Amino acid sequence: MRLLQSLGRMEADGYEFSEDLTGCSRQAFRTKFGRTARRLGLSNRLKREELNRLAEAAFLAALCNVALNGLGGCEGEIRPENEPVRRDLEGAYMNACQNFYASPGWGKLPAAQKESIRAVFLTVAVEERNLAV
């Protein structure tokens, strides 16, 4: 939560979730996250603290996707001087994921539901056009 304060269908849901996050406020993110988590049945399977851990990791995943694919400011340009920020963001994302994966609720989820969570909330991908040659 510290970084949040300072800064088939699964794929369709994940794409919809990611698209809705571009340029949204933290409150808009929370609203979208809550709606999607309920639709996936997570509010019945995870405790509040576990959902907060997932929300933090999901928010960081969205920020990583923005940073790694030039979707923020800079008119789509990925500037080399911003690499330390991207690296720190990626590290925070990985730590948040590990924090969520260490929760008891995660361990009790069925494999299919885990895969849904990863696909919808935790996928970070660099678009091919942004890969170094």
Chain centroid to Cα 86, Å, comes to: 14
Place of tokens 């969520």: 100
Q: Are 40 and 116 in contact (CB under 8 A)?
A: yes
Predicted pLDDT at 74: 52
Successive 10-residue mean pLDDT values, the chain, 133 residues:
36 43 68 92 94 95 84 58 80 97 97 96 82 58
CA–CA dist 43, 99 (Å, integer): 18
pTM for this prediction: 0.74
Tokens describing residue 126 = 């660099």
Predicted pLDDT at 80: 64
Q: Are 116 and 122 in contact (CB under 8 A)?
A: no
Predicted pLDDT at 71: 61
